[in-house]
Amino acid sequence: MANFAKPENALKRAEELITVGQKQEALQALHDLITSRRYRAWQKTLERIMFKYVELCVDMRRGRFAKDGLIQYRIVCQQVNINSLEEVIKHFMHLATERAELARNQAQALEEALDVEDLEADKRPEDLMLSYVSGEKGKDRSDRELVTPWFKFLWETYRTVLEILRNNSRLEALYAMTAHRAFQFCKQYKRTTEFRRLCEIIRNHLANLNKYRDQRDRPDLSAPESLQLYLDTRFEQLKVATELNLWQEAFRSIEDIYGLMCMVKKTPKASLMGVYYGKLTEIFWMSSNHLYHAYAWLKLFSLQKGFNKNLSQKDLQLIASSVVLAALSVPPYDQSYGASHLELENEKERSLRLANLIGFEVEPKAENRVALSRSSLLSELVSKGVMSCVTQEVKDLYHLLENEFLPLDLALKVQPILNKISKLGGKLSSVSSVPEVQLSQYVPALEKLATLRLLQQVSQVYQTIQIDNISKMIPFFDFTAIEKISVDAVRRNFLSIKVDHMKSAVLFGKQSIEAEGLRNHLSLFAESLGKARTMIYPPAQKAAKLGDALSNLAEIVEKEHKRLLARKSIIEKRKEEQERLLLEMERVEESRRRELQKMTEDAEQKRIAAEYEQRRNQRILKEIEDRELEEAQAMLQEAEKRSKRKKKPVVEGEKMTKQVIMELALNEQLRERQEREKKLQKYAKIMDHLERAKREEAAPLIEAAHKQRLAAEAALHEREQQQEIEQSRQRHAGDLEEKKRLGRMLEQKRILQERVVSSREAEFNRLKRERQERISQIIQSRKQEREARRKMLFFLRSEEERKKRLQEEEEARKREEAERRKKEEAERQAKLDEIAEKQRKRLLELEEKERREKEEILRRPTPVLPKPAEPPTLGRPTELGGTAPVTAAASAAPAPGKYVPRHMRVKVDAAPQAPPESDRWGSSGSKSDDRPSWRDERKPSSFGSSGSRTSWSSSRR
């Protein structure tokens, strides 16, 4: 796998590989880049790489690579730029469709090329054998190899795109468009197998959408746009299914549409519902379900009459006639008569399901269920006024079949009406859901109904009738067909007929004692006789013998009877309570036993599964070893057989390994293949010689035929040239006469032209002046608008400058205020510094005075005899004693540079004047000493530090 620093490098590398003809390596390089986790951030270069990638996939027909790349690209741009994925998929489908169409155009016979039952199935063994055995491939097989792979790839493309786009709310429109194009593909090329698979794929996508409701980008079916897209897809599926005559798939599509409507609990638009009921009529008619076919027609009639404002009277009449004829086509007997209980239950569930599809709400409970029947349908047609919209022929037919009693000539009167009805029909201009209606499709069912009605009426009049008479009364069918219809009616308990072919007669009403009509006949007769006897001989009232003696016997018996019934009910309740307790205990015990049994069974199943898995793995390993051993032995035997015929191998069979045997077998196969190729080349050379000989023989014959044809064409050309010259002369003469005839009107033509030109010129000048006036007005209005806009801009600009000037003045004032405050702060700080300097000078003067006092003390004469070593010793304490007060005074005085409060400044100023000894010694402080003492060395540092602290505190203020 090559690692590229940038995606552009991979694209450039792929283009270089394509240039030198290495498309597989280019495709692999782009595939590695797309599937790499390094490039998961979308950028425009990835889109260009995907375009090149899908082009390579289409060129090489690599559907698996295309699917992997599109899935990875969907992950990259799902949250960033979903439109890029849409463009790539559209480009992919366009390329696949274009290549398939190109292959189809190149094929000579499309029907032979697409004669494949399943696009996903591989080649059959007989086709492979025929392609390798036959030297010259047939045209049909060459077309199959040219067209079928591309159509197979196009089908795989549609499946891949639908799989990628499923359950994605941002690409619902592209999903619907892909489904529509796949439906059109199946419709155009009659691909019934692929259409079934496509419907199943879309059905599974919707099922997964409902199953996994917590997906992030799941489409919301409650949104009107999403619902409309899904409904359009299902209706397109329904239309294509009916056009391909896949009626079972069409019915499943109807169920899908109904499930979608139930899911979102919304009814689609009236136009879509018209298509829905129109397709239902076709499906029920093809399934011979005439009752629900008629109900579907009734719903379509109500829908078109209520919502279609463009419905013409003729179209309404045709639809109403179709409704009535469909209702009459329903058999007049119960189809489920004589069925078993299971069949009846299945029929009930089926009827409920179909009624829901049509839109008739049927109660699920059997006691409340209102079944859809022929009688209720006919009564509904009359109540809704459908009979008032039908043609006169349909009205007459309905009256004859449902209301008239004509046992002898019913069929003869119905036949001319049916002939007229069979000619009715045509295209509906104002109903798009049902483009065409042909009433002739109902004629066979109506003929059968007329036959049943005639037999029913004849059975009420006659007991026996000849077969010939029956055949004459029913001109629609011969007696064989009449007999089949009668058998079906007898089986459904609609008629009671027996046919005696020996006497050529039909017997009516000969029922057995178990028949429906005679089952309760004797009991009803006995009951009627009893009532008649009671009316003729009323019973006499007998006086009770014991009535007077036991007047309250009836009351006593009644009380005793009630007491016994109460006691019996109490006993029954106790028994039921005991039984309930026993059942509860048994149920608890049974549940415990089942739990224990389930735990035991689960443990046993796990153990058995583990043992089975272990045995299966051992068996698989053993089978692999046995298979390898058998293959090695078979190869060894094959090599020995060949060595017997040709040359014995050098290595012994017992020492030969499987690899050596496979190499020997492959070498032998390669040698045989080379021999076959040499034979084929020899046969090809022979065929070339034969073909050359045939063409050499046919060349002079072709040349002679060509010369003969040239002569015939030259004569034909000369004859046609003469005819053309003659016709040109005649046309020229006629044109001259026409010019001479029209030359007389030239002056009138000139006068008319001048009049028209002058009038149009005046009109043009008038319009031009009006246009100039409008233009001048527009220019004036625009000038005024510009002037007003210019004034407004000047006013806005001046207002902005005034505001800016005021803002600058405010800022200058603020700066001056800040500078003034800073100057005042500096002056205050200077005053503080000056005060500190004065204090420092006073301290210096005090120290100078103290020093002078010390010197004066040292200069005084002492009365003691002078000793050389004593003066320093004696002078040391004196010096120390004289220094101590000075030190104390210095420590009591504030340090120079420090801030001194106002109430302390008096004490500090008075401190230097306190000691009177300085005046006593005659040293007043006028003298100064320039030598600095050790205290003076620390004063600048303390002064500087105090000054820095003062400036820092003032800056903080």
Predicted confidence band at 844 (pLDDT cuts at 50, 70, 90)?
very high
Mark residue 385 as left, alpha or beta (left: phi above 0; alpha: psi -120 to 50; beta: remaining): left
433-469 pLDDT, tens digit each: 777 888 888 899 899 999 998 988 888 888 888 988 8
Mean per-residue pLDDT of the chain: 78
Tokens for 751?
Answer: 């006068």
* pLDDT at residue 891 is higher than 70: no
**Taking residues 544-564, what's their average pLDDT?**
69
Token digits for 60? 């090489």
Q: pLDDT at position 296, please? A: 86
Give this prediction's pTM: 0.50
pLDDT digit string (tens) for 37-86? 776 777 777 888 888 888 888 888 888 888 888 888 888 887 777 888 88
Q: Phi and psi dihedrals of 592, rounded to 5?
A: -65, -45
Exposed, middle or buried, 313 (CB in 10 Å: 0-12/13-18/19+)? exposed
According to DSSP, the residues that pair with 465 across neighbouring strands are 506
* Res 105: pLDDT: 77
Give me the pLDDT at residue 91, please: 86
Distance CA 492, CA 470 (A): 21
Please indicate whether residue 167 or residue 917 has the higher confidence score (pLDDT): 167
Radius of gyration of the chain, Cα coordinates, nearest whole angstrom: 60
User: What pLDDT shows up at residue 155?
Assistant: 87
Cα 838 to Cα 293, 908, 918, distances in angstroms? 126, 11, 21
Q: Which pLDDT does position 911 carry in this prediction?
A: 44
Amino acid letter at 30? L
- Count CA atoms within 13 Å of residue 716 on its CB side: 6
User: Which tens digits make up the pLDDT trace of 229-257?
Assistant: 888 888 898 889 988 888 888 888 888 88
Give pLDDT tens digits for 254-286: 888 888 888 777 777 888 888 888 888 888 888
Least confident of 20-29, 69-78, 347-356: 347-356
- Per DSSP, what are the bridge partners of residue 840? none
Residue 446 CA to residue 419 CA, distance in Å, equals 11
11 with 48: CB under 8 angstroms?
A: yes
**DSSP helix/strand/coil, 499:** strand
Indicate the pLDDT class of residue 654, thresholds 50, 70 and 90.
Answer: very low
Overall average pLDDT of the 424-429 stretch: 78
pLDDT band per the 50, 70, 90 thresholds, residue 900: low
The pLDDT of residue 856 is 87
Q: Residue 370: is its pLDDT beyond 60?
A: no
Pair of tokens at residue 877: 């304490």
Residue 224 pLDDT > 60:
yes
Both structure tokens of 805:
């000037």
More confident residue, 343 or 453: 453
The number of C-alpha atoms within 13 Å of 272 and in the hemisphere containing its C-beta is 20
When pLDDT is averaged across residues 801-828 and rounded to a whole number, the result is 92
In 3D space, the residue among 93, 157, 90, 91 whose CA is nearest the CA of residue 119 turns out to be 157
pLDDT at position 770: 95
Minimum mean pLDDT range among 92-96, 186-190, 554-558, 741-745: 554-558
Q: Nearest CA to 390 among 303, 301, 320?
A: 320
pLDDT above 70 coverage of the chain, percent = 77
Question: Where is 464: in which H helix or E strand?
Answer: strand 464-466
Q: Which of 68-72, 211-215, 307-311, 515-519 has the highest mean pLDDT?
A: 68-72
Encode pLDDT of 679-702 as tens digits: 999 999 999 999 999 999 999 999
Q: Which two tokens stand for residue 511?
A: 């029922």
Q: Give the contacts of 130 (CB within 8 A, at least 6 positions apart).
A: 141
- Identify the burial level of 835 via C-beta atoms within 10 angstroms of its C-beta, where 0-12 means exposed, 13-18 middle and 19 or more buried: middle
* Whether pLDDT at 511 is above 70: no
Q: Compute the CA torsion angle 844, 850, 853, 857 (nearest 10 deg).
A: -140
Question: If you write DSSP's letter for every residue of 386-452 in order, what string do you get?
Answer: -TTTS-HHHHHHHHHHHT---TTTHHHHHHHHHHHHHT-EEE-SS-SS--EEEGGGGHHHHHHHHHH
795-825 burial: b if 16+ Cβ within 10 Å, else e: eeeeeeeeeeeeeeeeeeeeeeeeeeeeeee
Average pLDDT over residues 721-735: 93
pLDDT (mean) for 581-608: 86
pLDDT at 756: 94
Q: Where residue 214 falls among pLDDT bands split at 50, 70, 90? A: low
- 839 touches 894 (CB < 8 A): yes
In whole angstroms, give the CA distance from residue 949 to residue 92. 81
Residue 651 binned pLDDT confidence (cut-offs 50, 70, 90): very low
The yes-or-no verdict on residue 721 having pLDDT over 80 is: yes
Of 83-87, 345-349, 605-609, the poorest mean pLDDT is in 345-349
- Per-residue pLDDT, averaged over 480-496, amounts to 86
pLDDT tens digits for range 751-806: 999 999 999 999 999 999 999 999 999 999 999 999 999 999 999 999 999 999 99
Higher pLDDT, 777 or 930: 777
Residue 648 has pLDDT above 80, yes or no: no
H or E element, residue 506: strand 505-508
**Alpha-carbon distances of 668 from 452, 585, 658, 674, rounded to whole Å:** 80, 81, 15, 10
Whole-number pLDDT of residue 923: 40
Q: What is the mean pLDDT of residues 353-374?
A: 62
Nearest to 341 by CA among 372, 373, 377, 366: 366
**Cβ–Cβ under 8 Å, residues 179 and 163:** no
pLDDT band at 636 (very low <50, low <70, confident <90, very high): low
- The pLDDT of residue 880 is 36
